[in-house]
Structure 1
Amino acid sequence: MTVENHRTDFDAIVVGAGFAGVTAARELRARGRRVLLLEARDRLGGRTWTDTFAGQQIELGGAWVHWSQPHIWTELTRYGVPVVEDAFPERIVLPTEGEQRSYELIDAYVRITELLNKVFEGTELHFPRPHDPLHHADQLGAFDALSLQDRLDQLDLTPDEITWISGLLATELGGSTERGAFSMLAQWWALGMLNQRGYYSIVSLRPRTGMTGLLEKMVEDNPPEIRLDSPVTSIDDHGDGVTVTTRSGERFTARTAVVAVPTNMWRTIDFPAGLPNAHAAVAATGLGVPHGSKLWLHLRGDLDNFMAQGPQGAPLSVLFPHSELGDGRLMIAFSVDPELDLGSFAAVEKAVQLLEPKAELVDYRVQDWGRDEFSQGGWGNRPPRHLTTVHRELQQPHGRLTFASGDIADGWAGCIDGAVESGLKAAHQSAALLNTRA
């Protein structure tokens, strides 16, 4: 939906057409504002991307939703989009005593539940209101400083338990128990009602339309002017307005701009007026996990409906069941291993067989978000001390600029729900700027 005209001046310019940017643009249009939505890619969606593979609808990026996620569930309800449920495994393959061992679902569920309850014990004291993570900010200092490894070091766990929990949770942190903040995992646990079922239920339901289908309904509600294939190279806040310049040299002006690209992309944009210290620090490193990839695998062999998890550092972190095919199974995998050659069929098949030796790879599709030019990383994840030092500052306007990204959300940060939440907040802030004189 690219509107062809020669307008170059707007009330607001939104940079980035993922869920955060589309939400912000829709809300500003609903207020009667002239809005330009600029997107670097040739499609809407950002780190969500609905496509097809092996005759099935697939999601190459963010995919899952749940009613415990209030913002995205509101969007599904608003547009009447039904959800479908992914296949549930009948057995789970886990790394045990140096090898992959199969467990009946109920046995694995009980043991993992006990382990997660131990790891996240006391979470309710730190996040009594999990959608407001700084509600007990005065009690979060030492807790927010912990990595997952720090937390595991506090517990009396067996070697197998350490292998299970590090493989299970390190993926969400970008591949290492040392990398991300344990407080972010703990907040997700609190958002998931402090139990395993709630924590993992957020990877069970998908919009029947696909994420792109839902996004298109949001755009059609209050359409802005949209320019695809328009990477932004500069956002200049000159006090009485902003000038946004694209790679092709086009220049657009507005009274305010919403920066709605992933935080890993902030470093690719020139801000001539500068950024606050908190934003500049995050721009240097980003919050998106650096090597996150998602794979869709057509597998054959003597396979039942299974799920497999690897140990920390495995080329493929996890295999999820998706659906049965006429000649095999369609499965989803994630990798956070920078050494895995994702372009090599043999390397991918070998990685699959480390988790399930009986699997034969027929075909696969992969999206390497870490090497994607316009994301430069996968899902957002906070490092230790981030929540209690810079989190709130990143959400504040700076001059005529506001910021929107699932990376900086209060609630389900790192998820599509967080992107919608952040887009709503940025739209409100931009509307306030438009209601005041520059």
Structure 2
Amino acid sequence: MSKFAEREPNSISVDVVVVGAGFAGLTAAEQLASRGVSVRVVEGRDRVGGRSYSGEVAGVEVDLGATWVSRRHTEIRDLASRLGCTTTDQFAEGLNVLWMAGRRSTYQGTIPEISPEAIEDMVRVQTKVEELISTIDVDAAWESPDAARLDAISFGEWLDRNDAAPSTRALMTILSKVQWGCSPGDVSLLHALRYIRAAGGVSHMLDVEDGQQEQRYAETTQEIATRLAGKLGDKVVVGTPVRRITQDDNGVTVSTDSETINAEYALVTVAPAHRAGIEFQPALPDKAEGLAKTWRMGALSKAFVAYEKPFWRNSGLSGEALTDTGTVFITFDVSPGADGPGILMAFCDPRVYDNFSLEIRRDRVIRQLVDLYGPEAGTPIDYVDHCWGTEPFAPGGPNPAVPPYASGSHGSALTEPHGRVHWAGVETAGEWAGTMNGAVLTGQHAADRIAKRLGVAEDTSV
């Protein structure tokens, strides 16, 4: 189908070149290929999966990046099922641990029962958030009623103006760190509301049972991407950063260090901040350049500590904990079973974690786990961690920490094509933005758009 002929030994020609081998890029490539479109997927990392990345602790594969799926995440679940990957329920039996204001306590459910007054305040603030998100256009938050006012303050400023109690503020800070890799004061209220609405509301975002943390993949989420890339075979090339994308009326040329790819269209699926690492000729419009400069990535780190057995279960604890101080701010039990090994996953604050040695990071995590779970937590059999903010290529995650004014000024450039260059990726999603499900949806939608431009038939096989 392509009208380009090879121009030099390291030059190839396809119909569509896809930049990025995360779930959006791989999904789009598979769907286009199934319609007879020739594709080339180029990935700068030395692996596929994007922000899904597998590690190992005590011989068990774990998710160093994206982890959970909800029952409502139908697209990623269908994809994983088709590729033979299986879900396992997130362990949530027993009491959760809370460390707040220097005091340890236990509780059940999503919201810690600190006091009747604290519960009342949390419900009050959550109700106000739900009222606001009902006004948000999840596909174009910057066009929502009162968008300019909502974008002019941070989520943290809004909590202050609404007199959020210290306990409510602490819980919203944990939500912010997990979702955007930043504190509430660093993210626009409009951006926060868009992501909360996209996630199905505050309760769905926070809950394990019937919520966003309901299930994990036994094989890890990166394995889903690995198997999908395996179906595409040599159409996927890793370790190949894109340096330049040029275009004219006849097509696009994507330049890497090792090859030049000529195509009719390009689909770029990298995070908005990482678009800035590619030279575009002609240059991106001002709004799109502003997007790349202001939609900076947050930073989040994860540690996994393994023990012979999940000993906390013997004390009636779930392995889920929330803390308002220290390196660790939330933990989960991701053990493969009751017989062991026992594995605690800890989310860690990069400000007091990333720039320290492995030994110091490990010591800080374990000492905090001792506070939460007792002396047995001080004798692990293995440890592994990953700092997303210090990755050498395309650092940051889980999502952009978009400051005030940046959504209203630049948000529409998320999806506006730049000539023959189209965009996809989890940030471009409306519903389920910030999730693997959202990434798959954007890949599907982008494949449909480009297929129509190419004049090819609907997908008839998967």
| Matched-pair contact (CA < 8 Å) for 2:55–2:61 | yes
User: Given the alignment of the two structures, is residue 308 of structure 1 paired with residue 328 of structure 2, yes or no?
Assistant: no
1: CA distance, partners of 2:192 / 2:295:
18
User: Given the alignment of the two structures, is residue 214 of structure 1 paired with residue 224 of structure 2, yes or no?
Assistant: yes
- Residue 4 of structure 2: aligned partner: none
2: CA distance, partners of 1:283 / 1:197:
30
Alignment counterpart, residue 386 of structure 2, candidates 363, 367, 374: 367
- Residue 176 of structure 2: aligned partner: 169
Unaligned runs of 5+ in 1: none
Q: Quote the sequence identity (%).
A: 25
User: Given the alignment of the two structures, is residue 48 of structure 1 paired with residue 52 of structure 2, yes or no?
Assistant: yes
| Matched-pair contact (CA < 8 Å) for 1:292–1:335 | yes
| Matched-pair contact (CA < 8 Å) for 1:180–1:384 | yes
| 1:317 counterpart SS class | strand
User: Given the alignment of the two structures, is residue 293 of structure 1 paired with residue 308 of structure 2, yes or no?
Assistant: no
Assess, with a 3 A threshold, how the Cα gap between structure 1 residues 116 and 68 changes in structure 2: closer, same or farther: farther
Give the drift of 1:100: 4.2
- Residue 253 of structure 1: aligned partner: 262
2: CA distance, partners of 1:285 / 1:139:
21
| Matched-pair contact (CA < 8 Å) for 1:91–1:105 | yes
| 1:21 counterpart SS class | helix
Alignment counterpart, residue 337 of structure 1, candidates 347, 350, 360: 350
TM-score normalized with structure 2 length: 0.82
Give the drift of 1:386: 3.8
Letter in 1 for 2:52: T
| Matched-pair contact (CA < 8 Å) for 1:264–1:376 | no
Q: CA RMSD in A?
A: 3.1
User: Given the alignment of the two structures, is residue 266 of structure 1 paired with residue 275 of structure 2, yes or no?
Assistant: yes
Give the drift of 1:21: 0.7
| Matched-pair contact (CA < 8 Å) for 1:168–1:309 | no
2: CA distance, partners of 1:16 / 1:364:
30
1: CA distance, partners of 2:255 / 2:177:
39
Alignment counterpart, residue 120 of structure 1, candidates 121, 126, 132: 126
Letter in 2 for 1:233: R
Give the drift of 1:121: 2.1
**May I ask how many residue pairs the two structures share in their alignment?**
428
Assess, with a 3 A threshold, how the Cα gap between structure 1 residues 88 and 171 changes in structure 2: closer, same or farther: same
Letter in 2 for 1:120: Q
| 2:397 counterpart SS class | coil
| Matched-pair contact (CA < 8 Å) for 2:56–2:62 | yes
2: CA distance, partners of 1:302 / 1:220:
39
Alignment counterpart, residue 30 of structure 1, candidates 30, 34, 37: 34
Alignment counterpart, residue 105 of structure 1, candidates 84, 105, 108: 108
- Residue 334 of structure 2: aligned partner: 322
User: Given the alignment of the two structures, is residue 350 of structure 1 paired with residue 364 of structure 2, yes or no?
Assistant: yes
| 1:146 counterpart SS class | coil
Per-residue deviation, residues 299-347 of structure 1 (Å, max 9, x unmatched): 57974433222326x3222221111676763111222323424532233
Give the drift of 1:106: 4.6
| 2:399 counterpart SS class | coil
2: CA distance, partners of 1:62 / 1:46:
9
2: CA distance, partners of 1:283 / 1:185:
18
Give the drift of 1:221: 5.4
- Residue 3 of structure 2: aligned partner: none
| 1:275 counterpart SS class | coil
1: CA distance, partners of 2:126 / 2:409:
22
User: Given the alignment of the two structures, is residue 67 of structure 1 paired with residue 71 of structure 2, yes or no?
Assistant: yes
Higher mean displacement: 152-161 or 268-277: 152-161
Letter in 2 for 1:59: D
- What does residue range 83-162 of structure 1 map to in structure 2 within 5 Å? 83-88=87-92, 90-97=94-101, 99-106=102-109, 108-109=111-112, 114-122=120-128, 123-127=130-134, 131-132=138-139, 134=141, 137-162=144-169
Unaligned runs of 5+ in 2: 1-8, 457-462
Assess, with a 3 A threshold, how the Cα gap between structure 1 residues 144 and 45 changes in structure 2: closer, same or farther: same
TM-score normalized with structure 1 length: 0.86
Give the drift of 1:78: 4.8
Give the drift of 1:223: 5.5
1: CA distance, partners of 2:234 / 2:446:
16
Give the drift of 1:398: 0.5
Higher mean displacement: 424-433 or 59-68: 424-433
| 1:202 counterpart SS class | coil
| Matched-pair contact (CA < 8 Å) for 2:177–2:300 | no
| 1:430 counterpart SS class | helix
Letter in 1 for 2:105: S
| Matched-pair contact (CA < 8 Å) for 2:142–2:408 | no
2: CA distance, partners of 1:115 / 1:75:
40
2: CA distance, partners of 1:105 / 1:167:
17
Assess, with a 3 A threshold, how the Cα gap between structure 1 residues 6 and 32 changes in structure 2: closer, same or farther: farther
Assess, with a 3 A threshold, how the Cα gap between structure 1 residues 329 and 217 changes in structure 2: closer, same or farther: closer
- Residue 383 of structure 1: aligned partner: 403
- Residue 460 of structure 2: aligned partner: none
Per-residue deviation, residues 402-429 of structure 1 (Å, max 9, x unmatched): 1112123212222212211222232233
Assess, with a 3 A threshold, how the Cα gap between structure 1 residues 319 and 130 changes in structure 2: closer, same or farther: farther
- Residue 459 of structure 2: aligned partner: none
2: CA distance, partners of 1:106 / 1:27:
41
